[in-house]
Each structure stands twice: as structure tokens, then as C-alpha cells.
Amino acid sequence: MNMMRRMLVGAAAVAVAMSLSSVSGAQQVAKELSGESALEAAKERGALKIGLSLFVPWSMRDKNGELIGFELDVGRKLAEDMGLDPEFVPTAWDGIIPALLSGKFDVIISGMSITPARNLTVNFTEPYAFSGLTIVGNKSMTEGMSEADFNSPDVTFAARRGATPATVIQTVFPNATLRLFDEDGAATQEVLNGNAHATMASEPGPTHDVAKYPETLHKPLDKVFVQSGEAFAVRKGDPDSLNFFNNWIQMHWRNGWLEERQNYWFKSLEWQDLVDQ
């Protein structure tokens, strides 16, 4: 009987210990999640670190070398509303998600389309901008071509490495030759130089490029590919940051600020005198 009592007491002690351990473990997880909040880290340092990659007119450098563009307006307004300084970290596109995950910055604001593959690694906010992908072709090389004509090994596309257009080109035109570059500008230059038939990029870039080089470039297809929204990207396990950014985006859609800024950078050319042509 004494042996049985000791066994029951021992089992009860183990159960209590396991329960306390479970509570302690849950508290530790909650503490770790709170400690990993990008918002808290930004508030502590007094600056919001924003990762972006340069591509017109989302983000670019003006004639004085200063960063300007839609993303810069969004990032500065976001930091201002948080009472923080904005700190922009230009990053190559194919390394921008790893840089976020390694803590190089708090959030990506760089015209990033929401895709399932990316969503496996990062969490996305609601869209803060909307665009689509269109093809820009070398006029002399692609005049009169149909969509089916582009799906040929004899046709060369140029695109930015790691970006959505490169994936879409491979999916829609699997037989075409694809050459990859680190920047959108380099891909467009290949088309201008006649080294590639076409490129694909997010609007309004293609429209601006055609307006800038009307004798060389055109839109060979009257079609928008993968018309989707662009969102902020944040590290997983950070619900506080995701909640704040979503609320900020919703508020500035409602008050018209995001639409006004998007119209300025995407639907006008008023800003072109600020950059080298």
C-alpha cells in the first residue's frame, strides 16, 4: 500500500511539473515572439529599416543621387506615422528575402507581388499597390508577332533575376530563351540594343519605357499578365507588425493618400525631370 501511495504521489508530482513546464514553455514562446517584433526593434532604435530594390518608378536615384520614388514616399510616410526615422537599405532583388530573414531590415517595401512560393518564407500584408505585367519588345524584331510566336527558342527574353516577370516568362513562354540580369534597367537595355526581343516588367515601367523610346520600343501584345497586388513582406512569427502594417495600409487607402501617390508615380511623368534621362 505504501508503495502504491508513493507511486501515486510521484505520478502527481510529475503531472504538476509537466503542467508547470507547459505553462512556462508557452510563456517563453510568447516572450520570444514579442522579442522578435520588428515594430518593437524599430521603436527601440528610433528608426524603421526598410529593404528595397531599385526599379523605376518604384524606387530610383535622382540627379543628386538621392533615393526617390513611390516606395520612398510610402516608407517615409510609414516611418513618420510611427514617429521614427526611415532607413532605406537598397538590396539586390534575388537576395532581398534572405536579407529580411537575417534581420538586415524590418520590412520589405519594394513592389513585391504576393506569390505562394514567397509566402512559404515570409508573411505578406494586404496590397498597398496594384499593377500588372506587360511585355515591351524591340519594335523592329517583334513587329506583327502573336503571343504564340514568342514561345520559340529563337526568341530571347531579358528579365530581372528572381523577380516575378522571370517566373511568368518561363511559365507562359517555356520554349523561349531567357537571359537574367540584376536590374530591370539592364534587361530593358538589352531590348534597346537588339540583344533581346523583349522583356516583361510591372506597370507603369513598360508604358514609360515605350514613351521614352517610341522609335525602338513598343508593346507587341495588348495584354496584361498576372495582374495582382504588391504588399509589404515581414518575417513570420510577427503578428504585431503584420497587424500594424495592415491597419496603416487600410487607413491610407481610405483617406486617399496611397491612391494619390500611386497616381503621381504611375500615371504621370511629372517626376521625370528629377532623374537622368
**pLDDT value at residue 269:** 81
Kindly tell me if the per-residue pLDDT of 198 is higher than 80.
Answer: yes
How do beta strands 67-68 and 217-218 pair?
Answer: unpaired
The 10s digit of each residue's pLDDT in 44-87 is 999 999 999 998 889 999 999 999 999 999 999 999 999 999 99
Given pLDDT bands bounded at 50, 70 and 90, which one contains residue 98?
very high
**pLDDT value at residue 9:** 46
**Contact predicate 245/50, CB 8 Å:** no
**pLDDT value at residue 202:** 81
Kindly tell me if the per-residue pLDDT of 156 is higher than 50.
Answer: yes
**pLDDT value at residue 26:** 35
**Contact predicate 240/40, CB 8 Å:** yes
The pLDDT mean for the chain works out to 87
If one counts every other C-beta atom within 10 angstroms of the C-beta of residue 184, the result is: 26
**pTM (predicted TM-score):** 0.67
**pLDDT value at residue 179:** 96
**pLDDT value at residue 6:** 53
C-alpha distances in Å from residue 179, one per residue of 145, 147, 163: 20, 19, 13
Given pLDDT bands bounded at 50, 70 and 90, which one contains residue 14?
very low
The percentage of the chain sitting over the pLDDT mark of 70, rounded to a whole number, equals 87
Domains of the chain with bracketed CATH: 38-131+229-274 (3.40.190.10), 132-227 (3.40.190.10)
